[in-house]
């Protein structure tokens, strides 16, 4: 994701009239985008999710993660969150462990 794309994402979150947002995002830079959204201090619940295995594959976690993030967005307080593979954590308390192929708490 380029800086311009990330700025567009942040702007879209700002102007969205909804108070609960789910963003489906590539996992490699998901935390960086979450940080950019958090930096503007929205009074909204923003949940980012993605898939460790692309949706085009049968063994993908994409469908589960999307549903999981939708449910999480309705239950979590305002803030920026990551919801993936059964983990819900604030954006600054999670990282992608590329070697293990999972997101983990810090």
What is the rounded average pLDDT of the residues 87-105? 95
pLDDT of residue 23: 98
SS3 label, residue 65: helix
| Position 58 pLDDT exceeds 90 | no
| Model pLDDT for residues 11-51, shown as the tens digit of each residue | 999 999 999 999 999 999 999 999 999 999 999 999 999 99
Cβ atoms 66, 24 nearer than 8 A: yes
Q: How far is CA 75 from CA 47, 79, 85, 99, in A?
A: 11, 12, 17, 31
What predicted TM-score, i.e. pTM, was given to this entire model?
Answer: 0.94
What separation in angstroms does the CA of 39 have from each of 58, 87, 98, 102? Answer: 36, 22, 25, 25
The pLDDT, as a whole number, for residue 45 is 98
Residue 101 has pLDDT above 90, yes or no: no
% of the chain exceeding 90 in pLDDT:
92
């Amino acid at each position: 994701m380029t800086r311009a794309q990330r700025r567009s994402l942040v702007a879209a979150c700002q102007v969205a009239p909804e108070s609960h947002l789910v963003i489906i995002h590539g996992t490699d830079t998901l935390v960086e985008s979450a940080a950019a959204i958090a930096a503007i201090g929205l009074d909204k619940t923003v949940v980012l999710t993605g898939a460790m295995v692309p949706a085009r594959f049968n063994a993908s976690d994409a469908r589960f993660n999307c549903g999981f993030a939708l449910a999480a967005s309705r239950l979590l307080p305002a803030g920026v969150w990551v919801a993936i593979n059964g983990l819900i954590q604030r954006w600054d308390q999670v990282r992608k462990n590329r070697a293990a192929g999972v997101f983990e708490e810090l």
